A = this chain, B = another copy of it.
Amino acid sequence: MNYSDMKPREVRALIREGKITGPTAGMCAGYAQANLVILPKELAYDFLLFTQRNPKSCPLLEVSDTGSRFLHTIADGADVTTDIPRYRVYRDGILTEERTDISGLWRPDFVSFLIGCSFSFEAALLDANVPVRHIEENRNVPMYKTNIPCISAGSFHGTMVVSMRPVPHELVPKAVLITGEMPRVHGAPIHIGTPEAIGISDLSHPDFGDMVTIRDGEVPVFWPCGVTPQNVVMESRPPLAITHAPGHMLITDVKNTELKY
């Protein structure tokens, strides 16, 4: 099955039926994917403000109406409780379980936040002959906790998570320009080279996702990542938060190119 050429609605149906439970990188070429955070309404203002204050790591694509499992804007009719391959449930900031369906946990006071994903700019990088190693190696993108502080909002505080792609040094400026044109999916890199400068001590052991090969002449380039909210949840310890599992995204009906406008 070539998921790359399928329509988002078709792949979401396979996910809903439990036939896809793995990472979504490379699926539905050309369509944006999204990170998920579900919180009770009483925490929603603080989190919405957190995203406003930290738009590079948390560029919002849609916020559901309170209590509604269904999206309207980026994936009309998509059910946030079933249409993502894998979820994580955090209680008091601790990851307590992973599930492939959270419909049994749904509450009428839940609000869903959908956040842009850097997978969207990978097609643009590939089109410009900038390699994307984790796609070449069929792995999940490597993600790292950093020492870069987010701006706090109410009860939410924490540090940024970044995704990393090794880029040949002569292509780094091109990679900055291409991704800088797409701020709704994290935009330009937040850091280039020197992982220790942003608090990453061991590149070979990512905090989320898989390690990829860094070849001679390549520079590790770091982009703000939509897994940041999961790190913030772990640091801020809300009573309950549900997220996607890193790399296991919502595939939307929005084309990546549409996100530029």
Which residues on A are within 8 Å of B, measured CB to CB? 44-45, 48-49, 51-53, 60, 63, 73, 151, 180, 183, 188, 261
Contacts and interface: CB of A to CB of B under 8 A. Distances in A.
Contacts of A261: 180, 188
8 contacts: A44-B45, A45-B45, A45-B48, A48-B49, A51-B52, A53-B63, A180-B261, A183-B183
Contact of A52 (B53, B63, B151, B188): B63
Contact of A48 (B52, B151, B188): B52
Contacts of A53: 63, 73
**Contact residues of A: prevailing secondary structure:** helix
A122 B52 CA distance: 25
Copies in the complex: 2
A100 to B, nearest CB: 29
A48 B261 CA distance: 21
A155 to B, nearest CB: 12
Contacts of A49: 48, 63
Contacts of A51: 52
A167 to B, nearest CB: 20
Contacts of A73: 53, 151
A180 B181 CA distance: 11
**Ranked 10 nearest A-B pairs via Cβ:** A45-B45, A48-B48, A52-B60, A49-B63, A52-B63, A44-B45, A48-B49, A45-B48, A48-B52, A53-B63
A261 B183 CA distance: 9
Contacts of A183: 183
A153 to B, nearest CB: 8
A13 to B, nearest CB: 27
A35 to B, nearest CB: 15
Given A45-B48, A48-B48, 6 more contacts: A45-B45, A48-B49, A48-B52, A52-B63, A53-B73, A183-B183
Nearest to A44: B45
Nearest to A113: B52
Nearest to A46: B45
A134 to B, nearest CB: 27
A49 B52 CA distance: 10
